[in-house]
A = this chain, B = another copy of it.
Amino acid sequence: MFLKITAMNPKRPSIYGCRNLLWLLFFCLANPVHARSADPLVSWNSVASKAAIVKFVTEATKKGGAHYVPPAERIAVFDNDGTLWAEQPFYFQLAFALDRVKALGAQHPEWQDQEPFKSALTGDLKGVIAGGERALLELVMATHAGMTSEEFSRIVKDWLATAKHPKHNRPYTELVYQPMLELLAYLRGKGFKIYIVSGGGIEFMRPWAEKVYGIPPEQIIGSSIKTKFELRDGKPVLVRLAELDFIDDKDGKPVGIQKFIGRRPVAAFGNSDGDLQMLQWTASGDGLRFALLVHHTDGEREFAYDRQSSTGRLDKALDEAAQKNWTVVDMKKDWKRVFPAPKP
């Protein structure tokens, strides 16, 4: 509304500038506001975690209150895998890498006899993982590097348009947590600027995060490989190199937050020990703070895992949450539903 006023023709007499206001006033008088009284977190049961979220947001936005947080400081950071979307039976980005190996296999006959590609080609995930971190890195470099940034974005979008989760048989982008989507919208509506801070690839998330979460590319922080600027026939491109740039996990999360955002968030949301340092960094700032862990307790609707899991292990962070009174979401008890209704 203010934007419209500013943008209007300055030569007209002032009364015309109010025409939009008159319309808005009319609309406002004609339409009751009862829709606004709806619970913004409808998929949450009336539990302690929900109450803690609402209390934090209410205090942060109460002008003149003791815990008021000015809008510019309302920075909230969210892990992605296991916090906003599922991460079992393996990280979705790993599923992408395995599918890419299969798609590229014909161009690489040497992969037939070469690990971790040999295992990847036959869908033998255990064989891939047996190769440890080095094998995973090799997979990532073979599937995520060598193309331009725009080409990679297209490859990710194309994959997401057809790939399906092995257990749920739904597109990966539908395996986002409905209660967390509501939380994102709630925070956004209260003036929070939301960042993803993920161990996953920054350019793997950007092509879909805006559509799925409403989070724009410039608010995505993640792990990255190096890129190189080149002129190809006079046309500038950014080429993705098979060289690690930054690992945005564990100790790397506060480093990534400072690098990209340059100020400390007031709220952090995670689900594993990989998020511990991000929660510590966020929670230890001055003034009002909020730290939350999603605990995967629902083997029926989703997956149940914590201290012993190889993917998304939640052990030290669970202990520290208890010590420091961080909010812990018990997925089975706290959430009315886990995933959104399937799209027709």
Is A167 close to B, CB under 8 A? no
Q: Give the distance in Å from the alpha carbon of A122 to the alpha carbon of B228 in the complex.
A: 40
A314 to chain B, nearest CB (A): 19
Task: Judge whether B14 and A28 touch: CB under 8 Å.
Answer: yes
> Which positions 1-50 of chain A face chain B at CB distance < 8 Å?
1-3, 5-8, 10-11, 13-15, 17-18, 21-22, 24-25, 28-29, 31-34, 36-37
> Which positions 176-192 of chain A face chain B at CB distance < 8 Å?
189-191
A188 to chain B, nearest CB (A): 11
Is A342 close to B, CB under 8 A? no
A233 to chain B, nearest CB (A): 11
Task: Judge whether B277 and A229 touch: CB under 8 Å.
Answer: yes
Contact partner, A25, options B18, B217, B251, Cβ 8 Å: B18
Choose the segment among A125-133, A134-142, A260-268, A326-334 that binds chain B (4+ C-beta atoms closer than 8 Å). Answer: A260-268
Say whether, besides A72-B216, A261-B218, A229 and B202 are in contact (CB < 8 Å): no
Say whether, besides A216-B72, A238-B258, A263-B217, A25 and B29 are in contact (CB < 8 Å): no
Task: Judge whether B6 and A36 touch: CB under 8 Å.
Answer: yes
Task: Judge whether B28 and A18 touch: CB under 8 Å.
Answer: yes
A 106-146 to B, binary, CB cutoff 8 A, 1 in contact else 0:
00000000000000000000000000000000000000000
Q: Which residue of B lies closest to A193 (CB)?
A: B218
Say whether, besides A28-B21, A33-B14, A218-B262, A284 and B228 are in contact (CB < 8 Å): no
A91 to chain B, nearest CB (A): 20
Q: Which residue of B lies closest to A280 (CB)?
A: B236
Is A281 close to B, CB under 8 A? yes
Q: Which B residues are in CB contact (< 8 Å) with A229?
A: 251-252, 254-255, 277, 281
Contact partner, A218, options B22, B217, B260, Cβ 8 Å: B260
Q: Which residue of B lies closest to A20 (CB)?
A: B28
Is A100 close to B, CB under 8 A? no
